[in-house]
Amino acid sequence: MTDGTNRQILLVEKPTGKLGPEHFKVSEAAIPEAGDGEVLLRVRYISLDAANRAWMHGATYRSAVEANSVMAGGGIAEVISSNALGFTPGDIVFGDTGWQDYAVVRGKHLTKMPKVEPMTYLLSVYGIAGLTAYFGLLNVGRPKEGETVVVSAAAGSVGSIVGQIAKLKGCHVVGIAGGADKCQWLTSELGFDAAVDYKAGPVFKQLKAAAPKGIDVYFDNVGGDILEACIAQMNLFGRISCCGAISQYDGTPSAHGPRGVPGTIVVKRLTMQGFIVMDYDEQRSQALADLQSWVGSGKLKVQEDIISGLENTPQALIGLLAGENRGKRMVKL
Ligand code: NDP
């Protein structure tokens, strides 16, 4: 970090096709000062999320990111100075810091975090990834012991936790991921019962073998063709937890959504429900207590993928969308 200056990564242009390094540039500005109700933060870790790319398309559960501004993104940061009630220097917080060394954020938009070792767990298992997996599986998917749970982007930050929680609940768990190495990791290290490599051939056929009794809960991180293949194999009264649609975020989204959906939903009495992790804020303490106890007892393994250097943040996002990461990807400043 340079003394007195704030390095920032700007989104210079919104991509119309695939995201590339040309859409970003590194810039320098003066370290900002906190105004009334605001906090000056030194960013420690920036969270890399598939959703970063989705925000470039337009408003979602948050406003769209705009060209020629600091790229938006969640981060873990340390309070340097504060003009906001409840924050003092040295506090660790989570908030939309953006891709930069220092940020000024309104206190009411920050969440004070406990001091946890390692601090990175605040972005992975005890952060949005862990909570999304927990609520999306248990509150939306509602798996019962003995049922079959399938999860896509299974080797990613959310998916790797979903599959492990489903195993803890006594389910038959199948992960869908890209590449033989990731599939091998899911079964040998994380305890998944089977894994399907969507890059190795049609998902529909591989799923038939991996989930011979059909699917009771499908945790959907990707949408598109994989969602189509899963819907076709859902059991009566199955639940689909719609968490995200990575296959539609980068480049030109596929021209068709999953086909054959309405008829199958009616005949099989399926429930398909979208959710945003914040919907379950009131149950956050219970979720964190469960996650902590599973991590503490070694039943839930935490996989992180940490890249160093603010200047590498654009490439880290481009790589995440291409499937480079295993577990929670973040950048350490
Ligand atoms: P991940 O860590 O899961 O990384 C993304 C992974 O997606 C890649 O590693 C890649 O793995 C896989 N992928 C990329 N393109 C495709 C494709 N075309 N088809 C299938 N898989 C693909 O990222 P995140 O944790 O950021 O995101 C996981 C999901 O969770 C996203 O859908 C995101 O939007 C969602 N999310 C939703 C929240 C909510 O509140 N609803 C909150 C947080 C995240 P591979 O090698 O297997 O292809």
Peptide bond before residue 118 is cis, with ω within 30 degrees of 0: yes
> What are the helix (H) ranges across the chain?
50-54, 128-135, 157-168, 180-188, 203-210, 224-231, 261-268, 284-296, 313-321
Report the separation in Å between the CA atom of 156 and the middle of ligand 1, taken as the mean of its atom positions.
6
How confident is the model over 278-306, as pLDDT tens digits? Answer: 999 999 999 999 999 999 999 999 999 99
pLDDT of residue 2: 42
Q: What is the CATH class of 128-277?
A: alpha beta
Report the separation in Å between the CA atom of 157 and the middle of ligand 1, taken as the mean of its atom positions.
8
Evaluate: CB of 221 within 6 angstroms of ligand 1: yes
pLDDT of residue 1: 42
How confident is the model over 72-98, as pLDDT tens digits? Answer: 999 999 999 999 999 999 999 999 999
Q: Does 5-124+303-332 carry CATH code 3.90.180.10?
A: yes
C-alpha to C-alpha distance for 184 and 177, rounded to whole angstroms: 10
Report the separation in Å between the CA atom of 270 and the middle of ligand 1, taken as the mean of its atom positions.
23
How confident is the model over 43-75, as pLDDT tens digits? Answer: 999 999 999 999 998 888 888 898 999 999 999
Is pLDDT of 222 > 90?
Answer: yes
In the predicted model, what is the mean pLDDT of residues 217-228?
96
Residues 6+ apart with CB under 8 A from 152: 159, 175, 176, 177, 198, 218, 219, 220, 221, 222, 226, 227, 230
Evaluate: CB of 317 within 6 angstroms of ligand 1: no
Q: Where are the domains of the chain?
A: 5-124+303-332, 128-277
Q: Output DSSP code: residue 156.
A: B
Q: Residue 129, Cα to own-chain centre: how many angstroms?
A: 5
**The whole model's pTM is what?**
0.96
